[in-house]
Amino acid sequence: METSQAESLERGSRRTPNVLTAYSVEDGIEVWSVNAGKGVYNSPVDVLVIDGEVWLSPEFRTSYDLHTGKVASELSERRDRVGMLHDRCYRNKATVNCILTSRDGIEVIDKERGWIGNNSWLRGTCQYGIMPANGLIYAPPNACACHPKVKL
């Protein structure tokens, strides 16, 4: 491992810092970049684009204008404590109205109002997760062993 890579890793952590960079499709020149934080529990940072705004996991508190990189909106930091505080083994998903996280079941974050709530009993299968489509949330059968007491 190169020295520069070793220095960027946190000691004893699986999380590494990330930078999101946007490039012009016309000439390939960097348009903007932003610190994208760190992935959570072996999950990379999710980059979700909704109506021209870029949202970054794990917190989804700030959105950036897709074309300029300027802060487009900031959501409340209020979140109730849930049983599992890190992402699961599948990626976060989004609709035009909200972000559906892969934390304890599904947390719902409204892109206008912020954190709405969570459903600890609904979860997707490993690696695939859930799928929002047709105004519904589809959840395949799962054998998830994360936080199993909540399933009882």
In a domain, 67, yes or no: yes
In a domain, 39, yes or no: yes
The boundaries of the domain holding residue 50 are: 3-144
Region of 67 (left: φ > 0; alpha: ψ -120 to 50; beta: rest) is alpha
Q: Is the pLDDT of residue 152 over 80?
A: no
Which of 14, 130, 142, 151 is closest to 83 using CA atoms? Answer: 151
> What pTM does this model have?
0.79
Number of domains in the chain: 1
Q: Is the pLDDT of residue 47 over 80?
A: yes
Q: Is the pLDDT of residue 56 over 80?
A: yes
In a domain, 150, yes or no: no
In a domain, 151, yes or no: no
Please tell me the distance from the alpha carbon of residue 128 to that of residue 140, in angstroms, as a whole number.
Answer: 9
- Residue 102 CB burial class (10 angstroms; 0-12, 13-18, ≥19): buried
Query: Given this model, what pLDDT does residue 3 score?
Result: 43
Looking at the chain, the number of H-run helices and the number of E-run strands are 1, 12
- Find the CATH number of the domain harbouring 123: 2.40.128
